[in-house]
Each structure stands twice: as C-alpha cells, then as structure tokens.
Amino acid sequence: MTDPRSPALGRRAVLAGAAAAPMLMTVDQARAQGVAPRRGGVLNTIITPEPPLLILGVNNQGPTLIVGGKIYQGLVKLSPRLEPLPELARSWSVSPDGRVYTFTLQDNITFHDGRPCTAEDVIFSVTKFHMEVNPRARAILERIEKAEAPDPKTVVFTLKAPFEPFLLIFDVTACAIVPKHLYDGTDYRNNPNNSTPIGTGPFRLAEWQRGNFIRLARHEQYWKPGQPYLDGIIYRVVPDSQSRALALQTGQVQMTQFNDIEPFDVPRFQAMPNLAVATDGWELFSPLSWIEINHRIKPLDDARFRRAMAHAVDRNFIAQRLWFGVGRPATSPIASTTRFHDPTARMPDFNPREAAAILDGMGLRPNADGVRASIKMMQLPYGEVWNRLSEYLRQALRQVGIAVELESTDVAGWVRRLANWEFETTINFVYQWGDPTLGVERTYVSSNIKKVAFTNTAGYVNAEVDRLFAQARDEPQAEKRRALFSEVQKKLVADVPLVWLMELAFPTIHEKRLRNVITTGTGVHASFDDVFFAS
C-alpha cells in the first residue's frame, strides 16, 4: 500500500506518465469552461525579497526559484499530487529493474539566444553543472552511473541502483536545464552569463533595474506553439509590506505570492470580491521553519538546552497570532504534507515550567536579572512577520531565563553568515521537495556538514541518524522506507537538533481575471506559459 499523499513514482506510474500529452489548455477546453485563452497583457506582480541572481542551481533561494522558473525549465513538471508530467521531456520510460530512465525531448526547443537545446545540454546540466553548484541535487545525481545521448533528442540515465523518488529531481526548481555552450569549461558561479540568464522557458530576461524591478518578456521562439499567452511579467521590488498590500489593493499589481503579503493582511484580501486567495501550489515544497542552532557553541551543543528552548516556545501562538492561521504548528522534522510523516513522533510541547526544570538540572541557575544563559539570534530578513517572530522568540525564551540578542542583516549577508557558520541561532525555513531523502536528510546527516547554505549548517552529528537516512535512501520499497523514516523522526525529536516552528503555507493572491495561476504542485514557481488575462 502506498501513502495517499505520496507521488506515484513506481514503474507503472512512470510508464503512464510517459504516454501522457503535455498539459496545455486548448482553446476548446477553455471555451468549455466559459473562457478562452487570450494572448496579450503584462502581468505586474511583486517579488520579496529581491533575488541576488537568477541562475537556478547557483542560487536556490525562494525568490530566485519563483522568477527563474519562468526563464528555465526542467525535464518534467509536477501535478498537485506530485505526479511527473511532461515538460522539456515529451515522454520517458523506465527499465524493468528500475535502473535505466530514457527521456525523449520535445521538438524545436531553443534557448533564448536562439541556439537549440539538445540532449547534450541535458546531460551537461545534470552531470556537470548541478553536480558542482547544487548541493541538494548533487546527493541524488551522484546516483547516476552513466548518462548517454544516443541522438539529439534522447537522454538515457543509468542508475547505480534503483531509487524510488528519482523523477522528482527533474522539476525546474531542482534541476533546471542550462546551455552547455555558455557554461561548459567555465567557473559556473562566476560565469559572466550569470548576469543575463539564458534558458528555454516561455519568458526571457529583458531588463533588471536593481532595487526596482525585473522585467521578463515573451520568448518568441518558445517550443509550445502560440504560447506563452502573456506578453511579459514585471516583478516589482517593494521592500515595505504596507506598500505591497496597497499595490495589490489598488490594482497596481495583479498578483502577489510567497512573502509579499504579511499573514495579518490576508483576511482582508479574502473579503475582496475581485481577488482570489489560494494556499495550494506548495505541495512539492512543504516548507518547514525552525530555529537553526549552531551546535559548535555552548550551551547550544547540549540536547538538554535545545529541549528547554523547544518547551519555551508556544507554536500554536505562532500559528494563530503571528500567521493568522496561514499554516500550522510543526510537530516533527518531516512536515505533515510530506511523504512518510509519522504523527506519533512529536517534538517537546509548550511547557515553560519543564524548560526551567531542565535548565536547573543543567546547573544554569538565574542570576540577579533572572538570566541563566545568553544567546544571539540572526533575524531572517524576509519581511515583517519574521521580525515579529524573532521578537516573540526573544520574549518566550526570556521567560525561562534565556536572554536573546537579535542581530539584523540583509538577504545576502544572512546567506553568507549561515553558510560560513557565523551565527549562534537564526530563523530558517527549508523546502522538503516531496520526499525526506530529497529535502529533509540534507539538514541532518553529518556527511552534509558544509560551508554551503541549506546544508547541515547546524553541525549536528548522530551516527544512528546517518545510518537510518542512508538505509531509507537506498531502500527501493516504499513501506520499508516508511519504517526507517519513522525511526529517524523519533531519534530527531529526542535530540532536538533544531526547534521546529511552523509548517508554512504562503498565500497567492491574484485578480480573478488572471487565469491558470495555480495548476501544478509548484504553484507560482511554474513556467506560467498557460497563464492569461480573461477579457
């Protein structure tokens, strides 16, 4: 039996996906729904914060993935149930032993510079580019024994061993296809082409005024005839949350997403008749937020101290009073919307008295000011709600005698300090990518302790956790993987390497005349080649 939330990734499902036609809305289908796709119009929207660059793989922060998902594409896209659907790959098949995946590419794919996209670009992107720059993808792509291109439209990957969630890695957010002719043999991270991204997506970068806007224009040679419908997309950079809300309210922008609108503003937009508010489209990501803790610093290296921190935090308060019900309290390191979540593995509950008792047992008695220990917390620079969260955590931890000094930084500085382990605690959230092997393991295994953002930057080490994740990674049977992940969740909630806070749900708010906004399991990260304004 498979998990009803699980993507169908077995051989039968793969073969069914291989026979599927591209998921395009035809004119007849649209008219049957009472509206026909209309070509034209520019979508004005917002991006918060401004991405540092737009090269997927080199940078994997949320804003980069949203904008870059219009410029680049992957071999597949994913349905809301995380079923793989055709994108750059028209079809695919898998061998009976589960080791050989054969992809057939679409016809007439071109990059924005006019050069054709072939199997060689796919192989380069998978085996060289992302292997070097993309730590999340690398752990999966290392499982490829060989990659071959029998002809310009055929790619064959042979795995060292069967790997159940292999197809999930080929979405654009995980493994975008980049042009070999611009990157092969270069320093990928410092390639001059990084300032002008070239992909195969329906939109190309037309203009970027730093601190002001990113303007995308239609890729006229796009491989889907007649698409995209929009003439372009303008992502406006609006740092102030009140200004973002006003822009949506007055129609200056037709859509907001991700962190654009603060949770406390969502209820009033839900009441506006011309707007639609959706929280779906995050099925692949299942973002989970936490207090990131640097285990190299005392007393943060002590599991008892981390457990006391967890007892001091009221996650229900965070969900209801800070996020206004947009999302839910976290219970474990695997979100409830991710495969193999075990509801019986639960982190320490809100209990300040127990927190104080634990700190007493550690010999951390309060001084004359009631302070038992002092720590620093680097704030997450993603908007007002995250500042409010930091303020709440400072107050909550102070109630049990832990003094918190808040530190401010910008987005680039936050990423740099996180990657270089230059923090004591911070707020982080990471995407889970549909399967614990793809998006959870990287945070906890000791082999992934690297000076790279979104790895095991906490420095957590537990040999048994390493073993369980490795077994689950290599196990081809879903039910056996479930048992292993259940065990690893129980180990982690006992160790509390991080203090998990919220299962996030970001609202997408858009004018109702904007159609096809959320159609996949990646929501606003999708290509938007079928998005249009109804008359």
Q: What is the pLDDT of residues 146-197, one digit of tens each?
A: 999 999 999 999 999 999 899 999 999 999 999 999 999 999 999 999 999 9
Asked if the structure places residue 491 within a domain, the reply is yes
What's the whole-number mean pLDDT along residues 365-385?
95
Domain count, the chain: 1
Question: What are 62-89's pLDDT values in tens digits?
Answer: 899 999 999 999 999 999 988 999 999 9
89 three-class SS: strand
Q: What is the 8-class DSSP label of residue 246?
A: H
Question: What are 285-328's pLDDT values in tens digits?
Answer: 999 999 999 999 999 999 999 999 999 999 999 999 999 989 99
Cα separation, 454 vs 458, whole angstroms: 10
- Has residue 41 got a pLDDT over 50? yes
- Has residue 202 got a pLDDT over 90? yes
- Sequence length of the chain is 535
> Per the omega criterion (within 30 degrees of 0), is the bond before 7 cis?
no
Give φ, ψ of 169 to 5 degrees.
-75, -10
CA distances from residue 342 to 100, 436, 521 in whole angstroms, order as listed = 32, 12, 22
- Has residue 31 got a pLDDT over 80? no
Asked if the structure places residue 402 within a domain, the reply is yes
513 three-class SS: coil
Mean pLDDT of the chain: 92
- Angle of CA points 205, 210, 213, to nearest 5°: 60
- Has residue 5 got a pLDDT over 60? no
β strands within 417-467, DSSP E = 425-430
Burial class (CB in 10 A: 0-12, 13-18, 19+), 343: exposed
Cα separation, 452 vs 134, whole angstroms: 10
Asked whether 492 and 346 are in contact (CB, 8 A), the reply is no
Cα separation, 125 vs 187, whole angstroms: 14
Asked if the structure places residue 529 within a domain, the reply is no
Burial class (CB in 10 A: 0-12, 13-18, 19+), 203: buried
Among 11-15, 27-31, 170-174, whose mean pLDDT is lowest? 11-15
What interhelical angle do 303-312 and 352-361 show, nearest 10?
Answer: 160
Which H helix or E strand runs over 92?
A: strand 89-94
Q: pLDDT category, 401, cuts 50, 70, 90?
A: very high
Cα separation, 69 vs 72, whole angstroms: 5
Q: Which residues of 415-424 are buried (b: 16+ CB within 10 A; e: fewer)?
A: bebbeebebb
- Has residue 354 got a pLDDT over 90? yes
Asked whether 232 and 533 are in contact (CB, 8 A), the reply is no
Q: pLDDT category, 61, cuts 50, 70, 90?
A: confident
Asked if the structure places residue 361 within a domain, the reply is yes
Asked if the structure places residue 106 within a domain, the reply is no
Question: What are 245-278's pLDDT values in tens digits?
Answer: 999 999 999 999 998 998 999 999 999 999 999 9
CATH number at residue 493: 3.10.105.10
- Has residue 37 got a pLDDT over 50? yes
| pTM score, whole prediction | 0.80
Q: pLDDT category, 34, cuts 50, 70, 90?
A: low
What interhelical angle do 303-312 and 478-495 show, nearest 10?
Answer: 90
Asked if the structure places residue 127 within a domain, the reply is no
Give the strands of the sheet with 89-94, arranged side by side: 89-94, 100-105, 154-159, 144-151
- Has residue 8 got a pLDDT over 90? no
Asked if the structure places residue 403 within a domain, the reply is yes
The residue with tokens 């790959």 is: 89
Cite the DSSP H helix spans in 406-519: 411-419, 436-439, 463-474, 478-495
Query: How much of the chain exceeds pLDDT 70, in percent?
Result: 94
pLDDT of residue 32: 43
pLDDT of residue 16: 36
The sign of the torsion formed by the CA atoms of 314, 336, 488, 82 equals negative
Cα separation, 203 vs 330, whole angstroms: 37
Asked if the structure places residue 458 within a domain, the reply is yes
Alpha-carbon Rg of the chain, whole angstroms? 23
Question: What are 436-468's pLDDT values in tens digits?
Answer: 999 999 999 999 999 999 999 999 999 999 999
455 token code pair: 């790895």
The domain in which residue 447 lies consists of 288-504
Q: pLDDT category, 33, cuts 50, 70, 90?
A: low
First CA to last CA across the chain, in angstroms?
46
393 token code pair: 């955590």
Burial class (CB in 10 A: 0-12, 13-18, 19+), 283: buried
> Per the omega criterion (within 30 degrees of 0), is the bond before 192 cis?
no
Asked whether 49 and 214 are in contact (CB, 8 A), the reply is no
pLDDT of residue 81: 87
